Structure 1
Amino acid sequence: MMRREATGEAAPRTPQAGAGPVPAPLVASAVLGGAALLVWPAVFNGYPLVFSDTGGFLHQTLGPLMLWDKPWIYGPLLHAFHWRVTLWAPLAAQALLVSHLLWLAQRALRGTAAPAAHLGLCAALAAASTAPFTVALLMPDLFAPAILLALFLLGPAREAMTGPEAWYLGTVATLGIAAHLAHLPLALALACMAFLLGLPRGRALRDGARTAAPLLAAIVLLLATNWAGHGRPALSPHGATFMLARLQADGPAAAVIRARCPEAGWYLCAFADRLPMDANDFLWASDSPVNRDAEGRARFLGGALIAPEAQAIVAATIAEHPLAVATAVLRNALRQLVTAGIGDTLGDDHLRTALRPRIAEGFPARERAAYDAARQPRGVLREAMMPLAPLHGAALLLSLPLLAAGGLRAWRAGDAVALTFLAMVLAGALANAVATGGLSGVFPRYQARIAWLLPAAAILLLMPRRRS
């Protein structure tokens, strides 16, 4: 492999159709085998892992219903594979997507990909990381790591991809960014990182544009779907409600409400003495101010009803208490950065009311029977899986010195693509913590969905290099 002495940049990888010298049947077998390894929690459970919000995403097409609190993206994607037959098909699609992205990342970083190395990588991730619990979960969480891998391959590693692969990666990144609002700041951070790291190599505009294109496309997609479903071309027609929930829980918004009420005339003035309260309870508890008024009457779609007022309160809070808001966001982001685990995705919380009716109304009886027989809805999956949590934590800690070793190796080799990959993985982990914990709430699954890329990156960076 030639080295560009003038810039310290490793010579670009040559695009290789499929997997270069690896025969197509072997590529397919390796990707399929990797996917099979990454879904073992679902196999053990007897059904794909689900969350209470999975029911809402199913309802987006089974209803059909344009939910106030979720982009109309992941639900249609689920339907594109399940077709009211089985949820195992969307799970298979998720596993194949992640396995294929890891295959392409290996090819971009090593110059070619090897089936044995790919299966070894997937086996290691399946055994000691949270990756299989993200892959096996039917939630848009899967797209956080997929976006990072796709944007790296689209931008800094574009020369290792063929034209059709670039279109495929762009589609994956666009849909993934649009599937969850937290993915917008994540994608923005990754695009900025690609731009900044491209400056020394004269690739800033090229890499920045390639990584920003899916973000712009996702914004257009969100504007269009919200215009069609809610009558407003907005990224999140009712997103201010979530920000208000966070800011009142942290204190600044509650202080603004107490200071301005009752003169402000806000609906929440009647509840000033109850704030602050837990953000999750504020949003979803049946007796919260959002969902039950001062006279005790239930408020249907209370989160949507309060959104205009929430927008005004959030704006006032940021204007009057900018330092307190910034401090709270930073504190929550740092907590989220070190809070990654599988516990809150394995229970049966609210599944009986939020998910099972959707399966019963939209799928054959055999699918409902398979779901009922699984460990998760019977409440025994979490206890069976939690002994793995210390192993996941140990793998994350071990990955840090291994990442440093991989980065040092890439720096000595003048491998700018590998160094950019390392920087994007680290930036992605930080950006995800800010976008989720900082702006929403601190939950283990939020960081677990992307934290497994740290050991994955360490393994990829330390693999023996092969050049075409």
Structure 2
Amino acid sequence: MTTTTDQLRARAADTLWLRLAALGFPLLLPLLMIAPALWNGYPLLQWDTGGYLARWYEGYLVPSRSTVFGLYLHYGESFGFWINLAVQSLATLWLLQLTLRVLSMMQTFRFVAISGLLILSTALPWLASMLLTDIFAGLSILSLFLLVVGGPRTSTLEKISLFVFTAFAAATHSATLGVLLGLCVAGWMMRPFLRARLPFAGLVQASLTIVVGGLMLVSANHVLSGKWAWTPGGYGVAFGRMMQDGIVARFLNDRCPRENFKLCPYRNQLPATADEFLWGNSMFNTLGRFEGMNDEMGTIVVQSLADYPAWQAGAALKAMGQQLLHVATGEGTNGWIPHTRGIIERYIPSQIVPMRAGRQQNWGVDFEYVNWLHVPVALASMLALVGLLAHALARRRLDDLTLLAATVTLALLGNAFICAVISGPHDRYGARMVWVATFVVLMALARRFGDDAKAR
């Protein structure tokens, strides 16, 4: 009788611990999602963060720095930007669980397990811990997908939230807007063949987010600068990529004998990389940077496309392929961020002490060991994603998970094309998107080996 009582007490204790764990782990996830920032002692910063922060204070437009994202950061200043990280963490977990729920895969343990694996093995928590647009690039793929396929499986409030989130994400970066626009175009092209899977109303809502995102960006630009204009800088980054590929040097050598470009005297001194030209101590500074060079760079970009089409196409495909392999976490997130530090010290003096105390500012953040795991996981996830699609096509099976896998594959290809062709391959551009592939693969594994498989 005593043994039976002890056994019942032990089982009750085990049940209590399981319930506490089931409750506790989901509550811990928002903190785990921004664990890198908590460990750092301050939100992580990047080379580009200062350019966004400065938009509120400087009141003019600069290349590739969204005023919408600048406003978003500005409203978090009084909270040491921790409110921004809270938004990013909660938005990430919301979209993960909503995706699982819409695909009829939502279970507390599964949600916690998949979220935990993403936190441990991908760039996701580092993106959520950073004051940069990158976290919204991957999340917007999920939110756009859910707008299209969610239908009766999401409430009116959820649809409105998804719409606003997707439009905001589109307004934070031109590359994100470009990827989302490409997905919408692909959706409309495939709708005649996949009517049941791509509802008309869902595609309309998704497409309208691009329009609203664009209006949001132009309106914010007007509020801060007085100009109804798009964020400038497209020619500058494209020019840098072409210079890096040797196209600009060839163009100048061909044209300078008969045409007078500002760069002609420097055509044999061009830096080896776009970053050195645009952001280093190069002749770009001597010639007036974007204000002094934008028209000339635009002319060279347009005319070189016409002069060397085969070279441009080959360079673009090569850069796209390289971009797909550039997936390491942490590019630009180290102690050398003089512009961002300068902006904070000039405009937000209340943040100087906590910012300087962060591990990052003291060169205490090193991604070498992190990427021993992140890079293989990212590359394996992309391969597994292709395998998942091939398996589904072979079986002629198109469910929502396969459609999500196809969406993410197109997004990765579109992101690689836009970023590599315009800016050149960078690890940062790959890392901000590839974690979504890992998420889809984990969902497929959960369905294959979990309760879903047993039920079939």
Structure-1-length-normalised TM-score = 0.83
Q: How does 1:322-401 map to 2 (within 5 A)?
A: 322-349=309-336, 351=337, 353-363=338-348, 365=350, 367-382=351-366, 385-400=367-382
Asked if 2 retains the 8 angstrom alpha-carbon contact of 1:54 and 1:355, the reply is yes
Q: Which letter does structure 2 place at the counterpart of 1:133?
A: W
* In the alignment, structure 1 residue 446 sits paired with structure 2 residue 429: yes
Task: Indicate which of 161, 168, 174 corresponds to 1:181.
Answer: 174
The CA RMSD measured in Å over matched residues stands at: 2.8
AA matched with 1:420:
L
Instruction: Please tell me whether residue 98 in structure 1 is matched to residue 81 in structure 2.
Output: no
CA distance in structure 2 between the partners assigned to 1:160 and 1:440 by the alignment: 39
Cα distance in 2 for residues equivalent to 1:91 and 1:326: 40
The answer to whether the aligner puts 1:150 opposite 2:143 as a matched pair is yes
Output the CA distance in 1 between the equivalents of 2:53 and 2:66: 12
Q: Residues 63-97 of structure 1: CA distance to partner in whole angstroms, max 9, x if unpaired?
A: 455334412111101123x1433122211111111
Secondary structure (helix, strand or coil) at the match of 1:95 reads helix
2:78 is matched with which residue? 84
Any idea what the Cα deviations from partners look like across 1:308-339, whole Å, max 9, x if unmatched?
Answer: 22111111011111111111111111101011
Asked whether the equivalents of residues 71 and 222 of structure 1 are also in contact (C-alpha less than 8 Å), the reply is yes
Higher helix fraction: Structure 1 or Structure 2? 2
Q: Is the 8 A contact 1:147 1:172 kept in 2?
A: yes
Give the count of matched residue pairs: 427
| CA distance in 2 between partners of 1:309 and 1:97 (Å) | 42
| 3-state DSSP of counterpart to 1:220 | helix
> Is the Cα contact below 8 Å between 2:416 and 2:430 reproduced in 1?
yes
Match of 1:291, SS?
A: helix
User: How far apart, CA to CA, are the structure 1 residues paired with 2:400 and 2:269?
Assistant: 53
Deviations along 1:350-390, one digit per CA (max 9) or x if unpaired, are x2x3122333344464x4322222211101211xx421212
Post-superposition Cα deviations, 1:134-185, rounded to whole Å, max 9, x if no partner, equal: 1111100111101101110011233322111111111111111121111132
State the distance in 1 between where 2:243 and 2:385 align: 38
Residue 114 (str. 1) matches residue 107 (str. 2): yes
Q: How does 1:143-292 map onto structure 2 within 5 Å?
A: 143-202=136-195, 203=198, 205-226=200-221, 233-275=228-270, 277-286=272-281, 288-292=282-286
- Provide the residue aligned with 2:40 in structure 1: 45
C-alpha change, 1:32 and 1:198, in structure 2 (3 Å) is: farther
- Report the equivalent of 1:433: 416
TM-score (norm 2): 0.85
Identity of aligned residues (%): 25
Q: How far, CA to CA, are the matches of 1:284 and 1:228 in structure 2? A: 28
Q: Please tell me the residue identity of whatever aligns with 1:187.
A: L
Q: Which amino acid aligns with 2:191?
A: G
* Distance (whole Å) between structure 1 residues aligned to residue 387 and residue 446 of structure 2: 12
- CA distance in structure 1 between the aligned counterparts of 2:68 and 2:146, rounded to whole angstroms: 23
Gaps of 5+ in 1: 1-25, 294-298
CA distance, structure 1, for counterparts of residue 24 and residue 212 of structure 2: 33
For the 8 Å contact 2:147–2:206, the answer to whether it is kept is yes
Partners in 2 of 1:233 and 1:257 — Cα distance? 34
State the Cα distance separating 1:228 from its structure 2 match: 5.5
Mapped partners of 2:95, 2:22: distance in 1? 12
Q: Mark the structure with the bigger radius of gyration.
A: 2
Deviation at 1:459, TM superposition (A): 1.3
Query: In structure 2, how many angstroms separate the alpha carbons of the residues matched to 1:418 and 1:263?
Result: 58
SS of aligned partner of 1:84: helix
Counterpart contact for 1:37–1:122, Cα < 8 Å: no
CA–CA separation in structure 2 for the residues paired with 1:285 and 1:175: 31
Shift of 1:231: 6.5
C-alpha distance 27-322 of structure 1, shift in aligned 2 (>3 A): farther
